Amino acid sequence: MIIPPDADSPLAPLRQPLLRAEPVTTRRWLIRTTPLLHSIQDGSITLTHASFDTLPHQKSVDHLRSLLVATGILGPDLDRSLRHLEAQLPQLLSRLTPNHRALLTRWTYWAVLPRLRAATEKRESHVSAQNARSQIRQSALFLDLLQKRSTALGECTQHDIDTWFSTPGAVHWRVRSFLTWARRNRHLPRTLTLPPSYRGRAEVPTDDDERWQICRRLVHDEALDPADRLAGALIALFAQPLTRIAGLTTAHVTETNAGVELRLGSADTLLLPDPFAQIALQLPQLRRAGTAEQIPRTWLFPGRHADKPLTATALGNRLRHIGISPRALRLSAISHLTRELPPSALEAMLGLNAHTVAQHTLRANGQWTNYAANRHS
């Protein structure tokens, strides 16, 4: 056996999940990974994320890394997205002149990376790093376009700005953050006008009848995946965003004498109705018999890697695949809830941002005059 039954082995916690996993696929993976496991076993490769970053074949290395993190052999790597982005900077800026490269590097290190580090502390680094990478790439493309016209950023005209933002595609708005910083720091003429932040197309909320049809389907259609049923219900009934749903763990679910409670807000817990109460107790479900599935998992919606949940994007795609538009459904749910409850209650029970809810409430003409008395009665 590659991993000996020795408790002193650094890989010992991985032994039992490997033995319980589906044998044929696991054996193939072990054959491919044997040199790497031997190097870890004999200490040639230290058990640090920095060491793993230097190894080739990152896809297979990442799979092993996730197993090591999930079993506690390796600590969480909250800074990986940040390190990966910093490593990509030379390539992202390779087409720029030295002056433009220096300017974009300065903006990246003064404005972009500090925001990314703050997101890392909140465990939102993956999505934030993707957004930051897109901002840097689009800013580099904008500067490259100026270079092709033999124009420096300080010589940029309103026509250059208007031409860029008139190009179809929301991705072009990603350059706005850099241009705002450049104008504030006098690298771009202050007389230039930037368009407002991109708001996207206004989405029409799901109407009330369709929303209740979706709710009934989620209650009764047992052919649907249980995880999709619960995720859809959390949007349709409680207006939860995909990012929060994807981040739920078994610690958020508690079975009490009153029933199954789910903690979404900062104060109160929510009593889940059936069948969603029972579904929440059954998650996460074993979908395959691989090594990752043999390691105790706390995410209600686990992702492909053993130590990570399903991404909000992937969860949204799953719901769209069964005919549910998450954003339109959530807007409908918020509109309904704000007619029934004040923002403070929605923040405490559902974790919804009070300011955002208040704006929806004004549009929905919410009435709460009797709520306080009912809440304490």
Listed residues 23, 40, 70: the one ending a domain: 70
Identify the sign of the CA torsion 208, 214, 217, 222: negative
Inform me whether the pLDDT recorded for 371 exceeds 60: no
Inform me whether the pLDDT recorded for 336 exceeds 50: yes
Mean pLDDT throughout 333-350? 81
| Closest CA relative to residue 145, chosen from 107, 121, 179 | 179
**What's the structural domain count of the chain?**
3
Give the pLDDT confidence of 199-254 residue by residue, as tens digits: 666 678 889 899 999 999 999 999 999 999 999 999 999 999 998 999 899 999 99
Provide, rounded to the nearest whole percent, the portion of the chain with pLDDT above 90: 45
What DSSP character marks residue 272?
P
In a domain, 119, yes or no: yes
**pLDDT value for 200:** 62
Q: Are 157 and 253 in the same domain?
A: no
**pLDDT value for 124:** 52
Range from 11-15, 133-137, 264-268, 367-371 carrying the lowest mean pLDDT: 367-371
**pLDDT value for 211:** 94
Range from 12-21, 164-173, 201-210 carrying the lowest mean pLDDT: 201-210
Whole-angstrom Cα distance, residue 135 to residue 368? 42
In angstroms, what CA-CA distances link 243 with 75, 85, 326?
23, 22, 11
In a domain, 222, yes or no: yes
Whether the CB-CB separation of 274 and 280 falls below 8 Å is answered with no
Q: Are 104 and 156 in the same domain?
A: yes
Identify the sign of the CA torsion 350, 354, 359, 361: positive
Listed residues 70, 90, 112: the one ending a domain: 70
Q: What is the CATH number of the domain that holds 215?
A: 1.10.443
DSSP 310-351: PPHHHHHHHHHHTT--HHHHHHHHHHHHHHHS-HHHHHHHH-
**pLDDT value for 12:** 87
Whole-angstrom Cα distance, residue 337 to residue 236? 10
Q: Are 360 and 253 in the same domain?
A: yes
Q: Are 156 and 296 in the same domain?
A: no
In a domain, 241, yes or no: yes
Strand partners, 249: 299
Domain that holds residue 37: 12-70
Q: Are 288 and 342 in the same domain?
A: yes
In a domain, 192, yes or no: no
**pLDDT value for 261:** 93
Give the pLDDT confidence of 121-167 residue by residue, as tens digits: 555 556 778 889 999 999 999 999 999 999 999 999 999 999 999 98
Tell how strand 259-262 and strand 253-256 pair up.
antiparallel
Whole-angstrom Cα distance, residue 100 to residue 298? 46
Q: Are 130 and 254 in the same domain?
A: no
Of 275 and 76, the structure prediction assigns the larger pLDDT to: 275
Q: Are 258 and 161 in the same domain?
A: no
- Per DSSP, the three-state class of 305 is coil
- Per DSSP, the three-state class of 61 is helix
In a domain, 98, yes or no: yes
Q: Are 129 and 66 in the same domain?
A: no
Q: Are 26 and 120 in the same domain?
A: no
Q: Are 343 and 215 in the same domain?
A: yes
In a domain, 2, yes or no: no
Band of pLDDT at residue 285, cut at 50, 70 and 90: confident
DSSP 121-149: HTT-HHHHHHHHHHHHHHHHHHHHHHHHT
* Residues 6 or more apart whose Cβ sits within 8 Å of residue 97: 147
Range from 101-105, 152-156, 174-178, 343-347 carrying the lowest mean pLDDT: 343-347
**pLDDT value for 259:** 93
In a domain, 4, yes or no: no
**pLDDT value for 296:** 76
In a domain, 59, yes or no: yes
Inform me whether the pLDDT recorded for 44 exceeds 80: yes
Q: Are 233 and 370 in the same domain?
A: yes
Residue with tokens 């040639």, as numbered in its chain: 44
Average pLDDT, the chain: 85
Whole-angstrom Cα distance, residue 377 to residue 147? 69
Of 333 and 287, the structure prediction assigns the larger pLDDT to: 333
Provide, rounded to the nearest whole percent, the portion of the chain with pLDDT above 70: 87
DSSP 193-252: -PPPPP--PPPPPPPHHHHHHHHHHHHH-TTS-HHHHHHHHHHHHH---HHHHHT-BGGG
Listed residues 52, 70, 88: the one ending a domain: 70
Q: Are 261 and 331 in the same domain?
A: yes
Give the pLDDT confidence of 71-111 residue by residue, as tens digits: 889 988 878 888 888 889 999 999 999 999 999 999 999 99
Of 375 and 56, the structure prediction assigns the larger pLDDT to: 56
